Amino acid sequence: MKKIILSLMICIALIVGATGCRENTGTTETTPTTETTKTQSTPVSFDELNLKIGSAPGPVTYALTTMSEKNSDIVLQPWQNSEQLTAMITSREVNLCSTPISNALLTYNKGMDTQLVMVTVWGMLYVMSTENDIVSLQDLKGKEVIVSGKGGIHDHIFRHLLIKSGIDPDKDVKITYLDMTEASQRMISGDVKYAVLNEPQASIASLNAKKANVKINRILDLTEEWGKLPGQKNKKFPMAGIVVVNGSGVSSEQIVAFEKAYIEAAGWVNKHGQEAGPIVEKHVPTMKAMAVAQSIQYARLDPKPAIECKEEIMAFFKELTTTTDVKAFGGKLPDDGFYYK
């Protein structure tokens, strides 16, 4: 009976995958019907997930901590850098892992036997400043801008947007690389005026600055800037997701149940920021409850099965690799094997 149910769910997922990853606009959609079907036929209950999940600080983890709080069988294993992520995956220490979308493609292309299960977070990068003198990317000419992670996804996206705006990131702008915590501290002290931050770091910086009687403004939303690129109108770029570590002992039934539980948890988080904040801080002490609650409106936590988002993922990487060498993502764009089915 389980095999029959699983076959039906796979067929449904393949049909939904062909429609692309779309938001609910009030028109008739196939996704709600699909989710109802999954809910009714999931062969593994939430209480039987028994999963070890690699988690990094960020909005992806908001839903994971909520799930772990409700179920001791979901164990979160924190990681902070790409070396730790790689070690977790190659040792099969975890069944699933949260990761930037760029790292998901890189590990897949390196043959680490991972596949993207879900896109969970969409563009959430912001140019933050103690000033109010910036209304466009062009206004950043001649400025020093702090960016975290040279050669990382924040760097690639910011540089891409500058280049597409006719700005040479190596000549027209001074990019200084610092981790996001130090960037926030230097903005508050007045050492620097501009930084590219994601969530919840942007909200953490804003709240910490307020304590010091300094105001940090969210002056540019890089998702909105991305949407101004040719062919990218109204598109959110996929920024982070969940990968499955094949060979780690996780079953397809567990993954289906995880997807359902994660979507439900994310929906709750998006509606209950004040209640979710303390839960997140309990599991990840660096993500303070107040900052988490504030960040939710900017975090774009909107989980979708990866198979439904092929069009958006491919559009993102095709656009990004017009200025970034595809070698940064393992040498090739996503193929069909990249997506968990």
Matching CATH number, 2-18+30-122+239-325, of 3.40.190.10, 3.20.20.210, 3.30.70.1350, 3.30.420.40: 3.40.190.10
Rounded to the nearest integer, the mean pLDDT of the chain is 86
Q: Where are the domains of the chain?
A: 2-18+30-122+239-325, 126-226
What digits encode the pLDDT tens for the residues 274-314?
999 999 999 999 899 999 999 999 999 999 999 999 999 99
CA distance 124 to 225: 12
Residue appearing with tokens 């028994």: 50
Provide the pLDDT for residue 37: 34
Residue range 12-40: mean pLDDT, rounded? 38
Residue appearing with tokens 């140019």: 127
Provide the pLDDT for residue 16: 37
Could you tell me what percent of the chain has a pLDDT over 70? Answer: 86
Which segment of 51-55, 80-84, 198-202, 323-327 scores lowest on mean pLDDT? 80-84
If you write DSSP's letter for every residue of 16-85 in order, what string do you get?
A: HHTT------SS--SHHHHHHHHHHH-SS-GGG--EEEEE-SSTHHHHHHHHHHH-TTEEEEE--SHHHH
2-18+30-122+239-325 and 126-226 agree in CATH topology: yes
Residue 116 contacts residue 339 (beta carbons within 8 Å): yes
Q: Choose among 172, 148, 164, 173: nearest CA to 225.
A: 164
Q: Which two tokens stand for residue 92?
A: 């099969």
Which segment of 70-74, 191-195, 223-227, 306-310 scores lowest on mean pLDDT? 70-74
Matching CATH number, 126-226, of 3.30.465.10, 3.40.190.10, 3.40.1640.10, 3.20.20.70: 3.40.190.10
Residue 339 contacts residue 310 (beta carbons within 8 Å): yes
Is the pLDDT confidence value at 105 over 50?
A: yes
Question: Angle, to 10 degrees, between the axis of helix 82-90 and the axis of helix 101-109?
Answer: 50
What digits encode the pLDDT tens for the residues 152-165?
999 999 999 999 99
Rounded to 5 degrees, what are φ and ψ at 246?
A: -65, 145
Residue 63 pLDDT level (bands cut at 50, 70, 90): very high
Residue appearing with tokens 């209640």: 275
Measuring CA to CA, how many Å separate 201 from each of 173, 190, 301? 22, 17, 15
CA distance 42 to 256: 7
| pLDDT: which is higher, 247 or 235 | 247
Long-range contacts of range 210-218, CB-CB < 8 Å, 24 or more positions apart?
Answer: 212/188, 214/130, 214/187, 214/188, 214/190, 215/130, 216/128, 216/129, 216/130, 216/187, 216/188, 217/128, 217/129, 217/130, 217/131, 217/132, 218/126, 218/127, 218/128, 218/298
Provide the pLDDT for residue 142: 95
Provide the pLDDT for residue 24: 39
Sheet containing strand 74-78, edge to edge, reads: 74-78, 51-55, 96-100, 238-245, 114-122, 301-305
Q: Which amino acid is at 161?
A: L
Measuring CA to CA, how many Å separate 97 from each of 44, 280, 310? 20, 17, 19
Provide the pLDDT for residue 129: 94
Which uninterrupted H or E stretch holds 189? helix 180-189
Residue 183 contacts residue 113 (beta carbons within 8 Å): no
